[in-house]
Structure 1
Amino acid sequence: MNELRDPRHRVSPRARVMWFVSSAVTSVVLVAAVTLATTLWLTGWWTWPAIALSLVWAVVDVLMVPQWRYLVHRWEATDTAVYTQRGWWSRERRIAPMSRVQTVDFTQGPLARLLGLATVTVTTASAAGPLQIDGLEADVALHLVDDLTRKADLVEGDAT
């Protein structure tokens, strides 16, 4: 029987850089949008508090969230299941038995490719949706895709 437990492996430490850059870009857009909106269209006493709040949110998002995500994101693949744990604000811990695995995908966005990282997505016969493991070293991700594909192929049935 599979039990819900902490998966064994962490993602790559470089995932923090990827999440930092992603958070930084999002935060710049947020602060710029709030600043423009409050100074051009929604002027009033709330202009400076709104800008200050967006700046505080941006600092927290850029400096704390990538490290927090790194501490939470974990994964493991055994002969019988794939375990994942992800999230930063709320945590999601899931198990996908090999008998339910339908597809295993390898993806790399431009930033991930630049950092030598990748995402493995395991699609299952589950209403909860696919399991994602973000921030893996690209070679680890490729090996994992091959390994999971082999293991899922050994299980009889059609994964439905």
Structure 2
Amino acid sequence: MWRVTALVEGAVTIGVALLVDLAVDSFDLPGWAVALAAVAVVAWAVVVPQWRYAVHRWEVTDTAVHTQSGWWAREQRIAPLSRIQTVDRAEGAVARLFGLATVTVTTASAAGALEIDGLDLARAQDLVAELTLMADAVEGDAT
């Protein structure tokens, strides 16, 4: 999913640049720049998904939701179940092609929501139900 998304986003970016090149007479995009952009998109689509898979992790315990993400710097986040306000599931167009979804856990944190990307759709649905029940069972007002 991450590889296809990177390829689609790169193709759209190159396509927009080519359309601008055709539409604006004073804009002259050299052929080598288009070729270099295409190579960069393919390289990005090969490297980034493997890197994300190696780094991104998540876990749900009896007391919290843990996530790890990042590219150059790794970020580990922990959301106590008592702080969970909402649990959402989203399926983007590319994710649907692969039967995948993203679960978003929203808390009262200024750092924002925790996202768990690339889950199997059935697992994502189960996780939303599981976290909703777990958060509801914990005393507290999630603020």
With the length of structure 2 as denominator, give the TM-score of the two structures: 0.85
Residue 59 of structure 2 aligns to a residue in which SS?
Answer: strand
State the 1:36 CA deviation: 4.6
In structure 2, what is the Cα distance between the partners aligned to 1:112 and 1:30? 20
Q: Which residue of 2 aligns with 1:22?
A: 5
CA contact (8 A) 1:38 1:47 kept: no
Equivalent position to 1:129, from 88, 107, 112: 112
In structure 2, what is the Cα distance between the partners aligned to 1:95 and 1:29? 35
TM superposition outliers: structure 1 runs of 4+ over 6 Å: none
Residue 42 of structure 1 aligns to a residue in which SS?
Answer: coil
Corresponding pairs, count:
141
With the length of structure 1 as denominator, give the TM-score of the two structures: 0.77
Identify unmatched segments of 5+ residues in structure 2.
none
Q: Which residue of 1 aligns with 2:126?
A: 143
State the 1:90 CA deviation: 4.4
Q: Against the structure 1 CA distance between its residues 41 and 23, is the aligned structure 2 distance closer, same or farther, given a 3 Å change threshold?
A: farther
Q: Is 1:105 matched up with 2:88?
A: yes
1:75-94 to 2 correspondences below 5 Å: 75-94=58-77
| CA RMSD, Structure 1 to Structure 2 (Å) | 2.0
Q: Which residue of 2 aligns with 1:7?
A: none
CA contact (8 A) 1:34 1:54 kept: no
Give me the identity figure in percent: 57
Could you list the per-position Cα deviations for residues 66-89 of structure 1 after superposition, in whole angstroms to 9, with x for gaps in the alignment? Answer: 121111221000011101112335
CA contact (8 A) 1:34 1:50 kept: no
Residue 82 of structure 2 aligns to a residue in which SS?
Answer: helix
In structure 1, what is the Cα distance between the partners aligned to 2:109 and 2:12? 35
Letter in 1 for 2:121: A
In structure 2, what is the Cα distance between the partners aligned to 1:111 and 1:33? 20
State the 1:128 CA deviation: 0.7
**Range 76-85 or range 57-66, more displaced:** 57-66
State the 1:122 CA deviation: 0.2
1:23-62 to 2 correspondences below 5 Å: 23-37=6-20, 40-43=25-28, 47-62=30-45
Letter in 1 for 2:26: W
Letter in 2 for 1:151: M
Letter in 1 for 2:42: V
Q: Which residue of 2 aligns with 1:158?
A: 141
